[in-house]
Protein backbone atom coordinates (compact mmCIF):
# COMPACT_ATOMS: atom_id res chain seq x y z
CA UNK A 1 0.00 0.00 0.00
CA UNK A 2 1.22 3.51 -0.82
CA UNK A 3 2.39 5.61 2.16
CA UNK A 4 0.26 8.62 2.97
CA UNK A 5 0.63 11.00 5.92
CA UNK A 6 -2.28 12.62 7.73
CA UNK A 7 -2.15 14.84 10.80
CA UNK A 8 -4.31 17.53 12.37
CA UNK A 9 -4.14 20.51 14.63
CA UNK A 10 -6.92 22.31 16.50
CA UNK A 11 -7.67 25.98 15.83
CA UNK A 12 -8.18 26.61 19.53
CA UNK A 13 -5.71 29.45 20.05
CA UNK A 14 -2.09 30.21 19.45
CA UNK A 15 0.22 27.42 18.55
CA UNK A 16 2.98 26.84 21.06
CA UNK A 17 6.43 25.36 21.17
CA UNK A 18 4.99 21.91 22.04
CA UNK A 19 2.86 21.86 18.89
CA UNK A 20 5.87 23.05 16.89
CA UNK A 21 8.50 20.62 18.21
CA UNK A 22 6.14 17.69 18.78
CA UNK A 23 4.30 17.88 15.47
CA UNK A 24 4.60 20.71 12.95
CA UNK A 25 8.36 20.67 12.52
CA UNK A 26 8.14 16.98 11.66
CA UNK A 27 5.32 17.68 9.20
CA UNK A 28 7.65 20.05 7.36
CA UNK A 29 10.28 17.31 6.93
CA UNK A 30 7.79 14.58 6.04
CA UNK A 31 6.09 16.56 3.26
CA UNK A 32 9.15 15.94 1.09
CA UNK A 33 9.10 12.18 1.64
CA UNK A 34 5.39 11.31 1.47
CA UNK A 35 2.10 12.51 0.11
CA UNK A 36 0.99 14.62 3.09
CA UNK A 37 -2.38 15.93 4.24
CA UNK A 38 -2.47 18.45 7.10
CA UNK A 39 -5.80 19.44 8.54
CA UNK A 40 -6.94 22.31 10.74
CA UNK A 41 -9.50 20.39 12.77
CA UNK A 42 -12.32 22.83 13.42
CA UNK A 43 -14.85 20.02 14.04
CA UNK A 44 -12.64 18.86 16.91
CA UNK A 45 -12.42 22.42 18.24
CA UNK A 46 -16.19 22.63 18.82
CA UNK A 47 -16.15 19.65 21.19
CA UNK A 48 -15.72 22.42 23.77
CA UNK A 49 -17.51 25.80 23.54
CA UNK A 50 -16.02 28.20 20.96
CA UNK A 51 -16.66 31.80 20.09
CA UNK A 52 -17.46 31.78 16.32
CA UNK A 53 -15.41 34.91 15.52
CA UNK A 54 -12.45 33.56 17.50
CA UNK A 55 -12.69 30.15 15.81
CA UNK A 56 -12.76 31.79 12.37
CA UNK A 57 -9.69 33.88 13.23
CA UNK A 58 -7.81 30.97 14.82
CA UNK A 59 -8.39 28.85 11.70
CA UNK A 60 -6.62 31.50 9.63
CA UNK A 61 -3.87 31.99 12.22
CA UNK A 62 -3.11 28.30 12.62
CA UNK A 63 -2.93 27.94 8.84
CA UNK A 64 -0.60 30.95 8.69
CA UNK A 65 1.63 29.27 11.32
CA UNK A 66 1.79 26.07 9.29
CA UNK A 67 2.81 28.01 6.19
CA UNK A 68 5.29 30.10 8.21
CA UNK A 69 6.83 26.95 9.69
CA UNK A 70 7.59 25.78 6.16
CA UNK A 71 4.70 23.64 4.99
CA UNK A 72 4.53 24.14 1.25
CA UNK A 73 0.94 24.10 -0.09
CA UNK A 74 2.23 22.96 -3.48
CA UNK A 75 3.72 19.92 -1.80
CA UNK A 76 1.23 19.15 0.98
CA UNK A 77 -2.54 19.52 1.22
CA UNK A 78 -3.63 22.01 3.91
CA UNK A 79 -7.34 22.50 4.60
CA UNK A 80 -9.90 22.90 7.36
CA UNK A 81 -11.77 19.78 8.35
CA UNK A 82 -15.38 21.02 8.20
CA UNK A 83 -15.03 21.74 4.46
CA UNK A 84 -14.84 18.04 3.61
CA UNK A 85 -18.09 16.40 4.76
CA UNK A 86 -16.63 12.88 4.58
CA UNK A 87 -14.97 13.45 7.97
CA UNK A 88 -18.31 13.83 9.75
CA UNK A 89 -19.95 11.11 7.67
CA UNK A 90 -17.27 8.54 8.44
CA UNK A 91 -17.14 9.63 12.09
CA UNK A 92 -20.79 8.61 12.45
CA UNK A 93 -20.04 5.20 10.99
CA UNK A 94 -17.10 4.83 13.38
CA UNK A 95 -19.34 5.83 16.30
CA UNK A 96 -21.24 2.69 15.40
CA UNK A 97 -18.06 0.58 15.12
CA UNK A 98 -16.24 1.76 18.27
CA UNK A 99 -17.33 0.24 21.58
CA UNK A 100 -18.25 2.33 24.60
CA UNK A 101 -15.63 0.47 26.63
CA UNK A 102 -12.86 1.51 24.21
CA UNK A 103 -13.75 5.18 24.49
CA UNK A 104 -14.16 4.94 28.26
CA UNK A 105 -10.44 4.17 28.50
CA UNK A 106 -9.31 7.39 26.80
CA UNK A 107 -7.28 9.44 29.25
CA UNK A 108 -7.62 12.72 27.30
CA UNK A 109 -11.40 12.67 27.78
CA UNK A 110 -10.94 12.11 31.50
CA UNK A 111 -8.46 15.01 31.69
CA UNK A 112 -10.52 17.41 29.58
CA UNK A 113 -13.92 16.54 31.06
CA UNK A 114 -12.46 16.71 34.57
CA UNK A 115 -14.93 16.61 37.43
CA UNK A 116 -17.69 17.97 35.23
CA UNK A 117 -18.06 14.78 33.20
CA UNK A 118 -21.86 14.79 33.07
CA UNK A 119 -21.73 18.20 31.46
CA UNK A 120 -19.10 17.35 28.81
CA UNK A 121 -20.36 17.24 25.22
CA UNK A 122 -21.01 13.87 23.57
CA UNK A 123 -18.61 15.16 20.89
CA UNK A 124 -15.77 15.42 23.41
CA UNK A 125 -16.34 11.79 24.36
CA UNK A 126 -16.54 10.68 20.71
CA UNK A 127 -13.52 12.82 19.70
CA UNK A 128 -11.26 9.79 19.02
CA UNK A 129 -13.82 8.31 16.58
CA UNK A 130 -13.74 11.56 14.59
CA UNK A 131 -9.94 11.47 14.69
CA UNK A 132 -10.04 7.91 13.30
CA UNK A 133 -12.33 9.17 10.54
CA UNK A 134 -9.94 12.03 9.73
CA UNK A 135 -7.11 9.59 9.17
CA UNK A 136 -8.98 6.75 7.52
CA UNK A 137 -11.08 8.91 5.17
CA UNK A 138 -7.78 9.18 3.28
CA UNK A 139 -6.55 5.64 4.07
CA UNK A 140 -3.52 7.35 5.60
CA UNK A 141 -0.75 4.99 6.66
CA UNK A 142 1.36 7.25 8.91
CA UNK A 143 0.33 9.83 11.50
CA UNK A 144 3.00 12.16 12.93
CA UNK A 145 1.84 13.30 16.39
CA UNK A 146 3.11 14.21 19.84
CA UNK A 147 3.23 11.57 22.57
CA UNK A 148 -0.17 12.67 23.97
CA UNK A 149 -1.99 11.36 20.89
CA UNK A 150 -0.58 7.83 21.06
CA UNK A 151 -3.61 6.35 22.78
CA UNK A 152 -5.99 7.87 20.21
CA UNK A 153 -3.89 6.37 17.43
CA UNK A 154 -4.18 2.95 19.03
CA UNK A 155 -7.95 3.40 19.04
CA UNK A 156 -7.83 4.35 15.35
CA UNK A 157 -6.06 1.06 14.67
CA UNK A 158 -8.71 -0.81 16.69
CA UNK A 159 -11.51 0.87 14.73
CA UNK A 160 -9.81 0.14 11.39
CA UNK A 161 -9.34 -3.49 12.42
CA UNK A 162 -12.96 -3.85 13.58
CA UNK A 163 -14.27 -2.31 10.35
CA UNK A 164 -12.04 -4.59 8.27
CA UNK A 165 -13.33 -7.62 10.18
CA UNK A 166 -16.91 -6.44 9.66
CA UNK A 167 -16.53 -6.11 5.88
CA UNK A 168 -14.22 -9.16 5.70
CA UNK A 169 -11.57 -7.30 3.76
CA UNK A 170 -8.33 -5.40 4.47
CA UNK A 171 -10.13 -2.21 3.55
CA UNK A 172 -8.29 0.25 5.80
CA UNK A 173 -4.57 0.27 6.57
CA UNK A 174 -3.68 0.13 10.29
CA UNK A 175 -2.02 3.56 10.55
CA UNK A 176 1.32 3.87 12.31
CA UNK A 177 1.98 6.69 14.78
CA UNK A 178 5.17 8.62 14.08
CA UNK A 179 6.40 10.09 17.33
CA UNK A 180 9.63 11.70 16.22
CA UNK A 181 12.44 13.77 17.71
CA UNK A 182 13.69 14.72 21.17
CA UNK A 183 10.66 16.77 22.21
CA UNK A 184 7.67 14.46 21.83
CA UNK A 185 6.13 15.85 25.03
CA UNK A 186 7.10 19.43 25.81
CA UNK A 187 6.11 20.34 29.36
CA UNK A 188 4.78 23.55 30.88
CA UNK A 189 7.43 26.14 31.82
CA UNK A 190 5.64 26.54 35.17
CA UNK A 191 5.23 22.86 36.03
CA UNK A 192 7.47 20.17 34.57
CA UNK A 193 4.86 17.49 35.23
CA UNK A 194 2.08 18.92 33.05
CA UNK A 195 2.01 19.21 29.26
CA UNK A 196 2.58 22.57 27.56
CA UNK A 197 -0.92 23.34 26.34
CA UNK A 198 -2.91 26.07 24.59
CA UNK A 199 -5.59 25.94 27.25
CA UNK A 200 -3.30 26.48 30.29
CA UNK A 201 -4.55 29.60 32.08
CA UNK A 202 -1.00 30.95 32.48
CA UNK A 203 0.59 32.41 29.35
CA UNK A 204 3.95 32.01 31.11
CA UNK A 205 3.48 28.23 30.93
CA UNK A 206 4.13 28.20 27.18
CA UNK A 207 6.07 29.87 24.38
CA UNK A 208 3.60 30.86 21.68
CA UNK A 209 4.60 30.80 18.04
CA UNK A 210 3.73 34.50 17.80
CA UNK A 211 5.62 35.67 20.90
CA UNK A 212 8.17 38.37 20.18
CA UNK A 213 11.83 37.98 21.15
CA UNK A 214 11.49 39.91 24.44
CA UNK A 215 8.55 37.79 25.55
CA UNK A 216 10.42 34.56 24.76
CA UNK A 217 13.45 35.75 26.77
CA UNK A 218 11.24 36.78 29.69
CA UNK A 219 9.30 33.50 29.72
CA UNK A 220 12.49 31.44 29.74
CA UNK A 221 14.01 33.64 32.46
CA UNK A 222 10.94 33.07 34.62
CA UNK A 223 10.62 29.35 33.85
CA UNK A 224 10.53 27.20 36.97
CA UNK A 225 13.85 25.41 37.66
CA UNK A 226 15.84 24.09 40.61
CA UNK A 227 19.00 25.42 42.27
CA UNK A 228 21.28 22.56 41.11
CA UNK A 229 23.77 22.66 38.25
CA UNK A 230 23.17 20.58 35.13
CA UNK A 231 24.35 16.98 35.52
CA UNK A 232 26.54 14.91 33.23
CA UNK A 233 23.98 12.24 32.37
CA UNK A 234 20.38 12.27 31.19
CA UNK A 235 19.41 9.75 33.93
CA UNK A 236 20.33 12.32 36.56
CA UNK A 237 17.51 14.50 35.20
CA UNK A 238 14.87 11.86 35.88
CA UNK A 239 13.67 13.45 39.12
CA UNK A 240 14.19 17.02 37.89
CA UNK A 241 11.23 17.48 35.47
CA UNK A 242 11.70 21.23 34.92
CA UNK A 243 15.42 20.89 34.25
CA UNK A 244 14.80 17.95 31.94
CA UNK A 245 12.18 19.93 30.04
CA UNK A 246 14.49 22.89 29.38
CA UNK A 247 17.37 20.64 28.30
CA UNK A 248 15.00 18.72 26.02
CA UNK A 249 13.73 21.94 24.45
CA UNK A 250 17.32 23.05 23.89
CA UNK A 251 18.24 19.72 22.27
CA UNK A 252 15.20 19.78 19.98
CA UNK A 253 15.75 23.38 18.90
CA UNK A 254 19.46 22.79 18.29
CA UNK A 255 18.73 19.58 16.35
CA UNK A 256 20.89 17.54 18.72
CA UNK A 257 20.25 15.19 21.67
CA UNK A 258 20.14 15.57 25.44
CA UNK A 259 23.52 13.88 25.99
CA UNK A 260 25.29 16.36 23.71
CA UNK A 261 23.62 19.31 25.43
CA UNK A 262 24.73 17.97 28.82
CA UNK A 263 28.27 17.38 27.51
CA UNK A 264 28.38 21.12 26.81
CA UNK A 265 26.56 22.48 29.88
CA UNK A 266 27.25 19.98 32.71
CA UNK A 267 28.36 21.80 35.85
CA UNK A 268 26.66 25.06 34.85
CA UNK A 269 23.61 26.47 36.61
CA UNK A 270 20.45 27.90 35.11
CA UNK A 271 21.92 31.40 35.37
CA UNK A 272 24.10 30.39 32.44
CA UNK A 273 21.88 27.86 30.70
CA UNK A 274 18.70 29.95 30.49
CA UNK A 275 20.25 32.83 28.50
CA UNK A 276 21.78 30.32 26.08
CA UNK A 277 18.39 28.63 25.67
CA UNK A 278 16.66 31.99 25.21
CA UNK A 279 19.13 33.00 22.46
CA UNK A 280 18.61 29.70 20.68
CA UNK A 281 14.82 29.87 20.96
CA UNK A 282 14.73 33.41 19.59
CA UNK A 283 17.10 32.52 16.73
CA UNK A 284 14.98 29.50 15.72
CA UNK A 285 11.52 30.96 16.27
CA UNK A 286 11.91 34.53 15.07
CA UNK A 287 11.99 33.66 11.34
CA UNK A 288 8.78 31.64 11.80
CA UNK A 289 7.12 34.45 13.74
CA UNK A 290 8.09 37.02 11.11
CA UNK A 291 6.81 34.84 8.27
CA UNK A 292 3.58 34.34 10.20
CA UNK A 293 3.11 38.11 10.49
CA UNK A 294 3.56 38.43 6.72
CA UNK A 295 0.86 35.81 6.14
CA UNK A 296 -1.45 37.56 8.59
CA UNK A 297 -1.02 40.78 6.60
CA UNK A 298 -2.40 38.99 3.54
CA UNK A 299 -5.03 36.59 4.78
CA UNK A 300 -6.49 36.28 1.25
CA UNK A 301 -3.50 34.12 0.35
CA UNK A 302 -4.05 31.94 3.43
CA UNK A 303 -7.73 31.47 2.59
CA UNK A 304 -6.80 30.54 -0.98
CA UNK A 305 -4.51 27.81 0.36
CA UNK A 306 -7.42 26.42 2.42
CA UNK A 307 -9.83 26.58 -0.54
CA UNK A 308 -7.44 24.75 -2.80
CA UNK A 309 -6.55 22.22 -0.08
CA UNK A 310 -10.22 21.43 0.61
CA UNK A 311 -10.80 20.59 -3.04
CA UNK A 312 -7.77 18.34 -3.21
CA UNK A 313 -8.67 16.61 0.07
CA UNK A 314 -12.27 16.10 -1.05
CA UNK A 315 -11.08 14.51 -4.31
CA UNK A 316 -9.27 11.83 -2.26
CA UNK A 317 -11.89 11.26 0.45
CA UNK A 318 -14.99 11.18 -1.75
CA UNK A 319 -14.24 7.96 -3.69
CA UNK A 320 -13.04 6.21 -0.50
CA UNK A 321 -16.31 7.17 1.21
CA UNK A 322 -18.23 5.94 -1.82
CA UNK A 323 -16.54 2.53 -1.43
CA UNK A 324 -17.41 2.50 2.27
CA UNK A 325 -21.07 3.23 1.51
CA UNK A 326 -21.16 0.28 -0.87
CA UNK A 327 -19.55 -2.03 1.72
CA UNK A 328 -22.24 -1.04 4.25
CA UNK A 329 -25.15 -1.43 1.83
CA UNK A 330 -26.19 2.24 1.79
CA UNK A 331 -28.39 3.01 -1.20
CA UNK A 332 -27.15 5.60 -3.71
CA UNK A 333 -24.28 8.09 -3.68
CA UNK A 334 -23.78 10.68 -0.97
CA UNK A 335 -24.47 14.26 -2.10
CA UNK A 336 -21.45 15.57 -0.13
N1 LIG B 1 3.20 19.77 24.81
C2 LIG B 1 3.29 19.10 23.67
N3 LIG B 1 4.45 18.48 23.33
C4 LIG B 1 4.56 17.82 22.14
N5 LIG B 1 3.56 17.74 21.24
C6 LIG B 1 2.40 18.35 21.53
N7 LIG B 1 1.23 18.48 20.85
C8 LIG B 1 0.36 19.22 21.59
N9 LIG B 1 0.93 19.58 22.74
C10 LIG B 1 2.20 19.07 22.74
C11 LIG B 1 0.99 17.92 19.52
O12 LIG B 1 0.56 18.96 18.67
C13 LIG B 1 -0.35 18.42 17.71
C14 LIG B 1 -1.58 19.27 17.63
O15 LIG B 1 -2.22 19.31 18.87
P16 LIG B 1 -3.69 19.90 19.01
O17 LIG B 1 -3.64 21.35 19.10
O18 LIG B 1 -4.54 19.39 17.93
O19 LIG B 1 -4.21 19.21 20.29
P20 LIG B 1 -3.80 19.22 21.77
O21 LIG B 1 -2.92 18.05 22.02
O22 LIG B 1 -5.10 19.22 22.47
O23 LIG B 1 -2.98 20.58 22.02
P24 LIG B 1 -3.06 21.46 23.28
O25 LIG B 1 -2.12 22.58 23.16
O26 LIG B 1 -2.94 20.62 24.51
O27 LIG B 1 -4.49 22.09 23.15
P28 LIG B 1 -5.60 22.25 24.23
O29 LIG B 1 -4.95 22.97 25.37
O30 LIG B 1 -6.64 23.09 23.51
O31 LIG B 1 -6.05 20.90 24.60
C32 LIG B 1 -0.63 16.98 18.11
O33 LIG B 1 0.12 16.11 17.30
C34 LIG B 1 -0.16 16.92 19.53
O35 LIG B 1 0.30 15.63 19.87
Domain assignments of the chain as residue spans, ordered by start: 4-185+298-328, 203-294
Which of ligand 1's atoms lies nearest the C-alpha of 41? 18
Residues 6+ apart with CB under 8 A from 312: 77, 79
Q: Domain 203-294: give its CATH code.
A: 1.10.240.10
How remote is the CA of residue 331 from the centroid of ligand 1, in Å? 39
**Span from the CA of 195 to the centroid of ligand 1 (angstroms):** 9
**pLDDT higher than threshold 70 for residue 281:** yes
Contact 35, 1 (CB under 8 A): no
Question: Is 115 one of the catalytic residues?
Answer: no
**Whether residue 1 has pLDDT greater than 80:** no
Neighbours of 158 (CB within 10 A): 17
Q: Do the Cβ atoms of 185 and 146 come closer than 8 Å?
A: yes
List of residues 6+ apart from 161 with CB closer than 8 A: 174
Query: What pLDDT does 199 receive?
Result: 82
**Does residue 203 surpass a pLDDT of 90?**
yes
The whole-number pLDDT of residue 216 equals: 97
4-185+298-328 adopts what CATH topology?
Rossmann fold (3.40.50)
Separation between Cα atoms, residue 249 and residue 226, nearest integer Å = 16
Mean pLDDT of 61-87: 97
- Which of 13, 21, 23, 207 most suits a substitution to test ligand 1, by most atoms within 8 Å of the C-beta? 23
198 in active site: yes
From 5, 7, 13, 19, the mutation candidate for ligand 1 (largest count of ligand atoms within 8 A of CB) is 19
CA of 19 to the centre of ligand 1 (A): 5
Mutate to test the pocket of ligand 1, among 15, 18, 193 (most ligand atoms within 8 A of CB): 18
Furthest-apart CA atoms within the chain: distance in Å: 70
Residue range 24-40: average pLDDT? 96
Examine the residue annotation and report whether 304 is marked as an active-site residue of this protein: no
Choosing from 139, 195, 219, 274, which is the catalytic residue?
195
* Nearest-atom index, ligand 1, CA of 206: 1
The fraction of the chain above a pLDDT of 90, given in percent, is 95
- What was the pLDDT predicted at 182? 87
Quote the pLDDT of residue 174.
98
Residue 303 exposure: Cα atoms within 13 Å on the Cβ side: 6
**Is there a contact between 174 and 157 (Cβ–Cβ < 8 Å)?**
yes
* Beta carbons within 10 angstroms of residue 125's beta carbon: 19
Single pTM value for the model: 0.94
Contact indicator for 243, 249 with CB cutoff of 8 Å: no
Give ligand 1 pocket residues (Cβ under 6 A).
8-10, 12, 18-19, 22-23, 145-146, 148-149, 184-186, 195-199
Angle 179-35-77 from CA coordinates, rounded to 5°: 95
What is the mean predicted confidence (pLDDT) over 33-61? 97
Q: What is the pLDDT of residue 116?
A: 87
Ligand 1, atom 23, residue with closest C-alpha: 197
Q: Which of 74, 110, 115, 198 is catalytic?
A: 198
* Ramachandran angles phi, psi of 219, nearest 5°: -65, -40
Nearest to 79 by CA among 89, 91, 67, 70: 67
Q: What is the mean pLDDT of residues 58-67?
A: 96
Q: Which of 79-83, 179-183, 202-206, 251-255 has the lowest mean pLDDT?
A: 179-183
Amino acid sequence: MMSRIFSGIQPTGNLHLGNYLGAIRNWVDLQHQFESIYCVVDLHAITVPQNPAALHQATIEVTASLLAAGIDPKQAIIFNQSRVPQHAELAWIFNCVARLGWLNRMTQFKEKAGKNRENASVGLFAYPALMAADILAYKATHVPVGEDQKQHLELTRDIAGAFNAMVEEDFFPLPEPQIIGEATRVMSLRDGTSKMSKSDASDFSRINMNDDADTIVQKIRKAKTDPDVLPETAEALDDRPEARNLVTIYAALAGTDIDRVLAEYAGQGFGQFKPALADLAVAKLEPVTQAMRRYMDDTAEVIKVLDDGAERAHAIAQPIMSDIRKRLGFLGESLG
